Amino acid sequence: MLPKTRPTLLWLLPLTFLAIFYFYPLGRMLQLSLTRSPIFSAPFIAALTSPAIRGVIGFTFWQAGLSTLLTLLIGLPGAYLLARFEFRGKSLLRALTGVPFVMPTLVVAAAFSALLGPRGWVNLLLMRVLALDAPPITFLHTFTAILCAHVFYNLTIVLRMVGDFWGHLDAHLSDAARVLGANRSQAFLRITLPLLAPAISAAALLVFIFNFTSFGVILVLGGPTFATLEVEIFYQTISLFNLPLAAVLSIIQLLISLAMTLLYSRLAAQLSQPLNLRASQQIQTPIRGHKTRLFATLWIGLLLTITIVPLLALATQSVVSFQGQGLRVFTLAFYRELWLNRQGSLFYASPSTAMGISLAYASLTVLLALGLGFPAAWALARDRTAPLNRLLDAMLMLPLGTSSVTLGLGFLIALAQPPLDLRASPLLIPLAHTLVAFPFVVRSLVPALQSIQPRLRQAAAMLGATPAQVIRHVDLPLIGRAALVAATFAFTISIGEFGATSLLSRPEYPTLPTTIYRLLSRPGALNYGQALALSTILMLTSIGGMLAIEKLRVAEIGEF
């Protein structure tokens, strides 16, 4: 068991942080949404009866549901492939398919623009082959673009959650059904599928939550034609300065998201219920037979195409430039431009400045998230089934079910006036990033803390070590890998976060995502090239983080 520390002391710092920077801003938003009417429900009824707002809500559900369905259709066969077969390059495939999950949404939008946009590789190739003067494919600002980006972004959730669980199910159960006369389809529908149902449901719901709160993808790839609740909140805040309506929409979205998050927590809890699970090495078999080889080849190719091709298109477009009659040549000009201030303005914040600011914010986020995550994870690892810990564990998940734009709006409303006036504080954005990264940090640390054998602590105590020395010399070295995973999660989430940052950042202190959005919004090949160069740098940072997480992670079956 873990060192004896009163649970209330362990929870004191994390709960204080949530109270001040999560519940207080949400309470202020609720107060603002009700100030224009003496009747509690009047602002919400007015919003829900508005045809425009109802259209936004309907589209939010529609795009999230359809994106989730497409993700499942592609992800479930891939999960089966990763769960049941062992083949060369499997660990690399897992790592590559996991990269999009930590990829900033603006990088995803830039990658699809580089592949299928008006100046993307596909359109340029078709224009040259077919001798066309205009791009034949219209991809940007379409519903198809939103769906493709969401599948790209969330496919790894299905592959990991369902694939990891499927890979530990005892295959003898379906074999026994086959011996008793069931065919392959009947064995799957009556044995395997019911056992997989909690994992599939949890993965589908988590994908739906991320699609429901999608922001950067809708804003850049969807364009002005499409608006989800997240985009509408941003539009009402930034363009119309209608904070009361933005607060009402944020509360509506928050209630829906939290209901889905609580349901996800219940489904995820079922994944830890006792089942006849076996080590994945005992279940996985080599790929044999023509049909199996054909299936594996097609699906590995599909997964790599979905995952790699947009990123390769982004990286290659960032190092090419038009010369002469459409000829493209290798160049690093866009990267060199990141460090220049051609206007000579004293108030100009260059992309290189945005890099430094983002790195500073990310470093501070890592320190805050680990400082808050360790005590919470320690308390949960002691006894996660205790009633108080179960309640507080669900409370820690609340920021995950809250959109980042809603968090940013809450900070604008609550932390821009006494008693907590942080408008000019450099801590404002790292605090918002910490809220987003906090659940991932806790989930990364808990399995490692639970894996520590009690006899190691007992032996250290018998040799005269104090509780503090036990933590320093026994616990910390054993959970070092998990701490690195948690720190990597916090760093990559912070450096690519766009939703809250788009509301909170000041023009003189831009971050990488806000600078990319600014460059993509401006005309001209130079602005577009710099946006691709910055996106490539951010992409490489995210890939490095994902590879580190894959290499260092402790648990095989997880909630993320």
Which is more confidently placed, 160 or 102?
A: 160
Cβ proximity of 71 and 156 under 8 Å:
no
Cβ proximity of 351 and 334 under 8 Å:
no
Q: Which residues contact 39 (CB under 8 A, 6 or more apart)?
A: none
The DSSP annotation for 467-482 comes to: HHHHIIIIIHHHTHHH
Q: What is the pTM of this model?
A: 0.80
Which is more confidently placed, 180 or 388?
A: 388
Say how far apart CA 516 and CA 534 lie, in whole Å: 7
For residue 461, the tally of other CB atoms under 10 A from its CB is: 15
Label residue 1 by pLDDT band (50, 70, 90): very low
Q: Which residues contact 185 (CB under 8 A, 6 or more apart)?
A: none
Backbone torsions φ then ψ of 124, nearest 5 degrees: -65, -40
Instruction: Please write the tens of the pLDDT for every residue from 427-458.
Output: 889 999 999 888 888 888 887 777 776 677 67
Per-residue confidence (pLDDT) for residue 177, from 0 to 100: 63
Per-residue confidence (pLDDT) for residue 279, from 0 to 100: 47
Per-residue confidence (pLDDT) for residue 349, from 0 to 100: 66
Average pLDDT over residues 99-109: 81
Instruction: Please write the tens of the pLDDT for every residue from 396-414.
Output: 777 877 778 888 888 888 8
Pair of tokens at residue 29: 């938003």
Say how far apart CA 222 and CA 432 lie, in whole Å: 25
The HSE-up count of residue 422 (CA atoms within 13 Å, CB side) is 21
Q: Which residues contact 95 (CB under 8 A, 6 or more apart)?
A: 546, 547, 550
Average pLDDT over residues 229-237: 86
Per-residue confidence (pLDDT) for residue 151, from 0 to 100: 93
CA 479, 483, 484, 485 dihedral sign is positive
User: Where do the domains of the chain lie, and which CATH numbers do they carry?
Assistant: 7-552 (1.10.3720.10)
Instruction: Please write the tens of the pLDDT for every residue from 215-231.
Output: 888 888 888 888 888 88
Is the predicted pLDDT of residue 102 greater than 50, yes or no?
yes
Mean pLDDT of the chain: 80
Cβ proximity of 113 and 140 under 8 Å:
yes
Average pLDDT over residues 315-343: 74
Is the predicted pLDDT of residue 251 greater than 80, yes or no?
yes
Say how far apart CA 352 and CA 70 lie, in whole Å: 38
Per-residue confidence (pLDDT) for residue 346, from 0 to 100: 46
Per-residue confidence (pLDDT) for residue 434, from 0 to 100: 93
Say how far apart CA 347 and CA 506 lie, in whole Å: 12
Region of poorest pLDDT, from 93-97, 233-237, 273-277, 459-463: 273-277
Label residue 366 by pLDDT band (50, 70, 90): very high
Per-residue confidence (pLDDT) for residue 501, from 0 to 100: 87
Q: Is residue 330 within a helix (H) or strand (E), and if so which, with residue range?
A: strand 327-330
Gap between the terminal Cα atoms of the chain: 25
- Work out the burial of residue 477: count CB atoms within 10 Å of its CB; fewer than 13 is exposed, 13-18 middle, 19 or more buried: exposed
Label residue 64 by pLDDT band (50, 70, 90): very high
Pair of tokens at residue 344: 């000579």
- Work out the burial of residue 24: count CB atoms within 10 Å of its CB; fewer than 13 is exposed, 13-18 middle, 19 or more buried: middle
The 3-state secondary structure of 534-558 reads HHHHHHHHHHHHHHHHHHHCCCCCC
Which is more confidently placed, 464 or 5?
A: 464
Say how far apart CA 49 and CA 256 lie, in whole Å: 17
Is the predicted pLDDT of residue 361 greater than 90, yes or no?
yes
The DSSP annotation for 388-456 comes to: HHHHHHHHHTGGGGS-HHHHHHHHHHHSEETTEE-TT-TTHHHHHHHHHHHHHHHHHHHHHHHTS-HHH
Is the predicted pLDDT of residue 368 greater than 90, yes or no?
yes
Is the predicted pLDDT of residue 49 greater than 60, yes or no?
yes
Instruction: Please write the tens of the pLDDT for every residue from 521-555.
Output: 887 778 888 888 888 888 888 788 777 776 766 54
Label residue 70 by pLDDT band (50, 70, 90): very high
Cβ proximity of 517 and 539 under 8 Å:
no
Which is more confidently placed, 151 or 341?
A: 151
Say how far apart CA 363 and CA 353 lie, in whole Å: 16
Instruction: Please write the tens of the pLDDT for every residue from 114-142.
Output: 898 888 888 888 888 888 888 888 888 89
Say how far apart CA 175 and CA 183 lie, in whole Å: 10
Is the predicted pLDDT of residue 420 greater than 60, yes or no?
yes
Pair of tokens at residue 73: 């259709």
Pairing of strands 327-330, 320-323: antiparallel
Per-residue confidence (pLDDT) for residue 269, from 0 to 100: 66
The segment with the largest mean pLDDT, out of 102-106, 332-336, 415-419, is 332-336
Per-residue confidence (pLDDT) for residue 455, from 0 to 100: 73
The residues pairing with 85 across neighbouring beta strands, listed in sequence order, are: 285
The HSE-up count of residue 134 (CA atoms within 13 Å, CB side) is 3
Per-residue confidence (pLDDT) for residue 323, from 0 to 100: 57
Say how far apart CA 400 and CA 186 lie, in whole Å: 38
Is the predicted pLDDT of residue 156 greater than 60, yes or no?
yes
Cβ proximity of 221 and 146 under 8 Å:
yes
Label residue 47 by pLDDT band (50, 70, 90): confident
